[in-house]
Amino acid sequence: MVKVEEYHGFVQCQYCHQPISHNIKTDGEFKVVYVKCRCSRS
């Protein structure tokens, strides 16, 4: 489990407008967590 210390928003897919990545801070480090948007599912 990833503990999120700060949330810095997300990036939207320009096609389906679903989130494709979340910008978070965890354990003192900035990380980008990529998620699958609607049109990248196969």
Chain positions contacting Zn ion, by CB under 5 A: 13, 15-16, 37, 39
* Least distance in angstroms from the C-beta of 14 to Zn ion: 8
Q: 26 vs 39, which CB is nearer to Zn ion?
A: 39
Taking CA atoms, 29 is separated from 11, 16, 19, 38, in Å, by 18, 29, 21, 28
Least separation in angstroms between residue 2's CB and Zn ion is 23
- Using alpha carbons, list the distances in angstroms from residue 26 to 17, 29, 33, 34: 25, 5, 11, 15
CB-nearer residue toward Zn ion: 11 or 25? 11
